[in-house]
Structure 1
Amino acid sequence: MLFDMDGTLVDSEKLWDVALRELAAEYGGTLSAAARRAMVGTSMADSMRILHEDLGQPHRDPLVSTAWIDVRILELFRTGLRWRPGALALLGAVRAAGVPTALVTSSVRPLVEVALDTLGRDSFDVVVCGDEVDATKPHPEPYLTAARLLGVPIARCVAIEDSPTGVASALAAGAAVLAVPAEVPIAPADGVHQLASLTGVDLELLAALLGEPPA
């Protein structure tokens, strides 16, 4: 099992909303809804580029903006991280069944370490962060890396995602994909099973996505 983090397991996109809008205000502007939607599931570098362009300030240093966001989002993660509906129960069922499990996120390691206080450090056999791969989502490398570290062929993995960027990454890697949109709609696509939430998702459904009976 390959789990995305932001918007999939935890309702963290709302925290990103707070930090990004505060940074825009710090720069004397207002982040547009379209720009915010375009950021979902992207790397920090891409998000800062989108923000700067949206504000008409492409000259700004993305490293300075990233450092500002890093400090603020860590504060927010420590105090406001909440599970998405059905996510805790599904993760618990997967772990209880002994299914190899990875967290595959575009967030950087320091932020993920804070999130793991909520998610549980024993919940995953492997954690792949955005700053630990050469190419982030929508490139397939994050999911291919997770499957390799788990020792499981990617075609035998189910990836659970909430964003078009993450779905594209998982599909390109060759995983079966369960999409549960949070902040941004996901267009129907071959190979993508879409649900409104993870509530009620069980091992039988996950096995069916791979075309096999449950273990």
Structure 2
Amino acid sequence: MLFDMDGTLVDSEKLWDVALQELAAEYGGILSAPARRAMVGTSMAASMKVLHDDLGQPERDPEASAAWINARILELFRTGLSWRPGALALVGAVRAAGIPTALVTSSGRALVEVALDTLGRDSFDAVVCGDEVDAAKPHPEPYLTAARLLDVPIERCVAIEDSPTGVASALAAGAAVLAVPAEVPLEPRDGVHQLESLTAADLELLAALLGEPPA
């Protein structure tokens, strides 16, 4: 079982909104809605490029902007993260069933360590962070890495995602995909089962996505 984090398990995208808009204001601009949507699920480097281009300031240092965002997001994460509807119950059911589970996120390790205070460090057998892979989502590497760490063939894994970038990554890796859109609408895609909320997800559905009877 492979879980995305931001927007899938925790309602953290709103915190990213705060930090990104604050940085845009620091630079004398306002981040547009289309640019913000384009950032969802992407790496920090990709997001900073979108932000700089959107503000008409492509010359800005992406590493300096990323450092500012990381520091602010750490502050916001420490104020507390809330679970997305149905996410806590599904993670609990998966763990109770003894299913190997990984967290696969575009967020960096420092942020993830704070988020794990909410998610639970025992909730995952492996954690793959965005700054610990050579290629970030939508590349398949994050999900392929997670499957390897779990020692489970990727074709026997279900990935749960909320963003087009994450869905593309999971599909490219070869996982079965359950999509639960949060901030960004998702177009129907072959091979992707979509739900409005994880409150409608259970072990029977996860098994069906793999074409097998429930455990």
What TM-score comes out, normalization by structure 1 length?
0.99
Amino acid at match of 2:213: P
**2:190 and 2:33 mapped to 1: Cα distance?**
28
Unmatched 5+ stretches in structure 2: none
Q: Report the number of matched residues.
A: 215
**2:153 and 2:12 mapped to 1: Cα distance?**
30
Residues 37 and 184, structure 1, Cα contact 8 Å, conserved in 2:
yes
Amino acid at match of 1:130: G
**1:187 and 1:210 mapped to 2: Cα distance?**
21
Amino acid at match of 1:113: E
SS at match of 1:199: helix
What TM-score comes out, normalization by structure 2 length?
0.99
Residues 15 and 80, structure 1, Cα contact 8 Å, conserved in 2:
no
**1:33 and 1:189 mapped to 2: Cα distance?**
24
Correspondence 1:1-215 to 2 at 5 A: 1-215=1-215
**1:189 and 1:55 mapped to 2: Cα distance?**
32
SS at match of 1:193: strand
Residues 85 and 199, structure 2, Cα contact 8 Å, conserved in 1:
yes
RMSD, aligned CA: 0.5
SS at match of 2:127: strand
Amino acid at match of 2:30: T
Residues 102 and 150, structure 1, Cα contact 8 Å, conserved in 2:
yes
Unmatched 5+ stretches in structure 1: none
Residues 204 and 213, structure 1, Cα contact 8 Å, conserved in 2:
yes
**2:126 and 2:57 mapped to 1: Cα distance?**
38
**2:169 and 2:18 mapped to 1: Cα distance?**
26
Percent identity (aligned)? 87
Residues 80 and 118, structure 2, Cα contact 8 Å, conserved in 1:
no
SS at match of 1:127: strand
**1:127 and 1:116 mapped to 2: Cα distance?**
10
Deviations 1:48-67 (A, max 9, x none): 00000000000000010001
